[in-house]
Structure 1
Amino acid sequence: MSAPALPRPAHHTAPALPGDLGRWFAETCERTYTRTRRIPLDALEGWHTDARTGDLVHDRGAFFSVEGLAVTAPGGPVPHWTQPILNQPETGVLGLLVKDFGGRPHALVQAKPEPGNAGGLQLAPTVQATRSNFTRAHGGRTVPYLRHFRSPPSRRLVADVRQSEQGAWFYRKSNRNMIVRTTEDVDVLPGHRWIPLRRIHGLLAAGDVVNMDARSVLACLPPPPGPAGRALHSGRDILRWLTGVRSRPALRTRPVPLRDLAGWHRTEHAVSHDDGRFFDIVAVEVRAGGREVRRWTQPMLRPCGTGVVAFLLTRVDGVPHVLVHAAAEPGSVDVAELTATVCCAPENYDGLPPAARPRFLDEVLDAPPGRVLFDALLSEEGGRFHHALNRYLIVAVDGPGTYESGGDHRWVTPRQLGALLRHSHYVTVQARTLLACLRGLTGPDGSPA
């Protein structure tokens, strides 16, 4: 059965925020913004097309490049393909500064516009900077608050771990996710604000307000206090299962020239798939206010459809469990990571063999409204992706059933996922977003409401 079409909003905007937060956003919009327009690929300034490979490369070797990748998937329904991929061989910093006010934990966030955002400003971490940004490769201003994350004392560190980003679009990219607790007085710069952590989690259900990087860092918070309950599988069993998946014949990748990709072509304005699916590589000119640089051009990856990212959730002896998928992506650092039950753009599977269709996709899309605990359209990182929108869902099901029968899915508790997030490259950025969304649904006992 073909999935119901999920509309891609032509004019998606972030929802209006209530009260003081809405007024602050409106005031910040007047001085902090990005205005983006498409330009031809050859009009990129500070970038060039490599004469030998056709790759799009920054003139100083900074930021990232757009390259080609050939992928072989042994035993997969699509055994071989080629694609463009973003190669950003540097580790950035995503840092959240937290402090208690009146006994309640608050986070210092910034209202940050990105050129690829579909709805303008979003709440971002205190610091969100690539290495090229904080070493000022762009020639602009320094990154505020970076000193808090340079060498914080260990007693102040709540979280400090390298986490991966989209392995289908990035080649082995990681960012350092940090949460640092402070007790000192901190100057609140324009565009920044202390907001209760509980309120930030609640805003995830309001729509496209909290950006991907903030969601990633929020997921790294320690789990709330309270009894853990009995998990269906022990942590040791989960690790043994994932190690087994990682030990199977893996995706094999090799770099290839961007100009030689089979099934892709370059026009004046884009590198696109011949079937019009998957994504395009486009070029944009950005004019900005309130940013380190006022004008620049860059390539961006623009998905061709709206994605679906979903957790199936059940309770085992009263303990919430989510169904994770051990999935390999061509840009993964360590073969496979735990991702959402479903993580795909449904349109990409039109015309592919039925075996390629993601398991449980139809169950998620056909779920009755009473089973849908969370449903929000959220965007991915707007610094590299242009209007990359995913519909994030959490769908309740009855009991563990036979969902694990295929071998690549397991029921884990949110607490077990949180424990894995103390280590690098176990949980994908999409699953981290869903974990943050799940925490926004929690009741006083720390379990989903």
Structure 2
Amino acid sequence: MTVPAASRTAFPDERLSRRLSRSAALTDGVTALSDYHRWFAACARRSATEVEPVPLDELAGWRREPGTGNLVHDSGLFFSVEGITVERPGAAVPRWSQPVINQPETGILGLLMTEFDGVAHFLMQAKTEPGNHNGLQLSPTVQATRSNYTGAHRGRPVPYVEYFRDASRHTVVADVRQSEQGAWFYRKRNRNMIVEVGEPVEVREGFCWLTLGQIHRLLALDDMVNMDSRTVLSCLPLTGAGLEDAAPPAADAFRTALLRSCGSGADEGVHSVGEILHWINEARSTTELRVRPTPLNQITGWHTTGGRISHDSGLFFDVMGVRVRARGREVDQWTQPLVAAGRTGVIAFLTRPIDGVLHVLMRAKAEPGHNDVVELAPTVQCTPQNYAALPAAARPALLDEVLDADPRRIRFDTTLSEEGGRFYHTRNRYLVVEADDSVPDDHPDFRWVTLRQLTDLLRHSYYLNVEARTLVTCLRSLLTAPQ
């Protein structure tokens, strides 16, 4: 199948918004959803990926660095597992050490976009990652580290990467560097790109074109849409004029408020953009968070047993090794370390209509791996079981309001996987919850923000963390795809 040629003219924001809104409203495109599920099942049968846990010291091509014990690849590329020591004076936990993934290169997470019969479609990939607990998930067109797309693995080329490495002949819809998990990565960033093509594109095995509305419906399925797809989709400028076309004709009060939150009338919410930026910069300037690289063999509170690195409490996460045999990947077999969080986390937006416009309660959250200390995070972002080993004061604010929420107030509730190329069976329960009257209006670490304001911040790097970006995509899906 090929894509018909289309104009390469850069579209004004209003026209682009109308085109994206129309795509979000349609759950049938060149591929029907029923055909998609048959296609995905056939891809799963062909994927034939075998993942075998192995001790870290048995990873081929990896070694412990003399002196530090850091786990590094023989090539000096890809990534390494190192240690850090974190100090945050005055916090409930003022000091700790931990392993982190250090991957200083910038990868590409890219979506190709085109029109069929006037409707925007996105080229999605059925891809297996070694850490996916269910094997196959729906990935963006390109999901590649710099080491991979420059051929450091000496394997097959990454399909479609040329559209993103040289986008000069196409229309760039979004291009922004964004962070990844600040609790497990050290200053990791990826280039999130959406490129509209105006030329025929051969659809390879394992790829298919979907409308935005179809992707939104698939978000309601556990572990279907992977993390990389969710973060790239959050960068779509889905705001302003035309969104009314995406909402159902008889939208309830929640969706009406959500529509207003996305729309052109929500440029200013209860706080102006200037006030939100001041709040973020104030938090970045005043938060004392000192992060010091520490040899992996010198971090305290951690031990190596059974070929993996674990915390003495048995909580938080492990660093483990896997041996992978995969069909259809750039390389057929390899070994690597992975981070394994054994318990499902809880990540939630609390929402509230203010003057008829839906607002989201965002938290200014400091994490040791952030590039600029603080990024906006969901209202709640944690693994509740881990607080058994921490002081009571460390328990996140508003966690009980999320865990004890009346089911009638829960608008989105799906368990989604984190990036399976670095995390093993690591999943979080993502929720959108309507706040009740017990949630306070004012707190120094929180602000009510509209979805339009969040979309504007997503045009820039390092304002929303990866968990918040997933929830932005999930919240937008509620315009047309109620659970």
Q: Is this a same-fold pair by TM over 0.5? A: yes
CA deviation digits over 1:226-271, x for unaligned, max 9?
A: 3333511110000001111111142101111111111100123200
Once the two structures are superposed, the pairs formed by residues 27-426 of structure 1 within 5 Å of their partners are 27-153=42-168, 156-226=171-241, 227-229=264-266, 230-398=268-436, 402-405=440-443, 407-426=444-463
**Cα distance in 2 for residues equivalent to 1:351 and 1:116:** 26
How far 1:187 sits from its partner (Å)?
A: 0.1
Structure with higher helix content: 2
In structure 2, C-alpha distance between the alignment counterparts of 1:322 and 1:268, rounded to whole Å: 44
Letter in 1 for 2:332: R
* Aligned 8 A contact 2:321 2:335 in 1: yes
Gaps of 5+ in 2: 1-31, 242-263
3-state SS in 1 of match to 2:352: strand
Partner of 2:5: none
- 5+ residue gaps, structure 1, are 1-16
Partner of 2:26: none
Change (3 A) 1:61 1:403: farther
Q: CA deviation at 1:401?
A: 5.6
Post-superposition Cα deviations, 1:40-99, rounded to whole Å, max 9, x if no partner, equal 111100000112111110001111000010000111000000000000010000000011
TM superposition shift of 1:155 = 6.5
Residues 314-353 of structure 1: per-residue CA shift (max 9 Å, x gap): 1111111100110000101001000100001111111311
Deviation at 1:434, TM superposition (A): 0.2
Change (3 A) 1:111 1:54: same
CA distance in 2 between counterparts of 1:234 and 1:392 reads 27
CA distance in 2, matches of 1:228, 1:205: 28
**Alpha-carbon distance in 1 for matches of 2:433, 2:45:** 39
Query: How far off its partner does 1:154 sit?
Result: 8.1
Return the letter of the residue paired with 1:20: D
Task: Classify the secondary structure of the residue corresponding to 2:369.
Answer: coil
What amino acid is the match of 1:322?
Answer: V
Contact 1:91 1:131 in 2 (8 A): yes
Any conservation in 1 of the 2:155–2:331 contact (CA below 8 Å)? yes
Give the equivalent residue in structure 1 for 2:479.
442
Superimposed CA distance per residue, residues 181-232 of structure 1 (whole angstroms, 9 cap, x where no aligned partner):
1121100000000011111012111221110000000000002333333511
The one-letter code matched in structure 2 to 1:247 is S
Give secondary structure in 1 for the equivalent of 2:85.
strand
The Cα offsets for residues 153-183 of structure 1, whole Å up to 9 and x where unpaired, read as 3860100000000000000000000000112
What amino acid does structure 2 have at the position aligned with 1:427? L
CA gap of 1:192–1:53, structure 2 versus 1, over 3 A, is same
Q: 1:304 Cα shift?
A: 2.6
Q: Which amino acid aligns with 2:379?
A: T
| Letter of the structure 1 residue corresponding to residue 465 of structure 2 | T
Q: Shift of the alpha carbon at 1:354?
A: 1.2
Report the Cα distance in structure 2 between the residues aligned to 1:155 and 1:58, rounded to whole angstroms: 36
Deviations 1:387-422 (A, max 9, x none): 0100000000247962432x0100001110110010
Q: CA contact under 8 A between 2:315 and 2:386: conserved in structure 1?
A: yes
The separation in 2 between residues aligned to 1:38 and 1:366, in whole angstroms, is 36
Same amino acid, percent of matched pairs: 56
Paired letter, 1:365: L
Check conservation: 1:32, 1:291, Cα contact below 8 A. no
Q: Per the alignment, in what secondary structure is the counterpart of residue 30 of structure 1?
A: helix
Aligned residues: 429
Q: CA deviation at 1:32?
A: 2.3
C-alpha distance in 1 between matches for 2:151 and 2:45: 25
> 1:337 is matched by which residue type in structure 2?
E
Return the offset for 1:33: 3.9
